[in-house]
Amino acid sequence: MEDADIIWEESMSVSFDDVTVDPEIIQNMKRVITLSVVNGIDNSYGLLAKKNLRGALLYGPPGTGKTHLAQAVARDSQANMIAINPSAILAPHVGDSEALIKALFSLATKLSPCVIFVDEADSLFRRRKSSDKSWERSLINEFLQQIEEIHTKKDDAPFILLATNRPADIDDGIL
Ligand SMILES: Nc1ncnc2c1ncn2[C@@H]1O[C@H](COP(=O)(O)OP(=O)(O)OP(=O)(O)O)[C@@H](O)[C@H]1O
Ligand SMILES: [Mg+2]
């Protein structure tokens, strides 16, 4: 992932207090991340299992603070964050994208508690069509497979945070 930023510099200056949003959203964001990855609470049964608390999608019109909020999560939540630049994952060589996604989840597990943040998620997870080339579908499939493993597996699995202003363009499987 040579293009991915190791340190997301903008995030270091943004805190939850800087985001103008319904305080309940911030509360929920903190609670969901704390419950599912920081405390490593068993979410295989009860309310947490029903809600499948392993990820969240921030969606809304451009310029409403989705990226801003994610930056605050990076700084103010107790979890580590890996912010993914979609162009770094859309590797030019067939098969590379899947390898990168495997590496991403492996790294995130090692950095537990960890949040994987995918901004502009519609560009990475565009709705699959039967006309797509197989490598375009396999990227989404690989991601879904990794998420599937998260659900069946251990507490050190990452939390997946996505942001988009085009939720309708995101693949159903991912949603
Ligand atoms: N809710 C908000 N609270 C505080 N600042 C905000 C808010 N929304 C937008 N801003 C300001 O506007 C800038 C742009 O917002 P941001 O990049 O977070 O929007 P976005 O929702 O990610 O938009 P896009 O869908 O185009 O990616 C931020 O850097 C911030 O300075
Ligand atoms: Mg944004």
- Report the sign of the C-alpha dihedral through residues 119, 92, 125, 146, in that order: negative
Output the pLDDT for position 150. 72
How far apart are the CA of 54 and the centre of ligand 2, in A? 21
Q: How far apart are CA 123 and CA 87, in angstroms?
A: 9
Ligand 1 pocket, mutate which of 22, 59, 67, 75 (most atoms under 8 A from CB) = 67
- Report the sign of the C-alpha dihedral through residues 170, 66, 110, 31, in that order: negative
Output the pLDDT for position 104. 92
Q: Which fold has domain 9-157?
A: Rossmann fold (3.40.50)
**Ligand approaching nearest to the C-alpha of 60:** 1
Q: How far apart are CA 41 and CA 157, in angstroms?
A: 12
The residue assigned the tokens 């597990």 is 109
Ligand 1 atom with minimal separation from the 119 CA: 27
Mean pLDDT across the chain, nearest whole number? Answer: 81
138 and 98 Cβ atoms separated by less than 8 Å: yes
Output the pLDDT for position 34. 79
* Least confident interval from 76-85, 148-157, 160-169: 148-157
Q: How far apart are CA 167 and CA 175, in angstroms?
A: 8
pLDDT at residue 2 greater than cutoff 50: no
Output the pLDDT for position 6. 58
pLDDT at residue 145 greater than cutoff 80: yes
Q: How far apart are CA 116 and CA 105, in angstroms?
A: 8
Ligand 1 binding residues, C-beta < 6 A: 18-21, 62-68, 165
For the chain, the structural domain boundaries read: 9-157
Q: What is the pLDDT of residues 115-137, one digit of tens each?
A: 999 999 998 898 877 766 666 67
- 134-152 helix and 96-110 helix, angle to the nearest 10 degrees: 20
Output the pLDDT for position 1. 44
Q: How far apart are CA 106 and CA 111, in angstroms?
A: 9
Q: What is the pLDDT of residues 29-75, one digit of tens each?
A: 888 887 777 676 555 666 555 555 678 899 999 999 999 999 888 88
Number of neighbours of residue 135 by Cβ within 10 angstroms: 15
User: Higher model confidence: residue 171 or residue 75?
Assistant: 171
**Residue having the nearest C-alpha atom to atom 12 of ligand 1:** 63
Output the pLDDT for position 156. 80
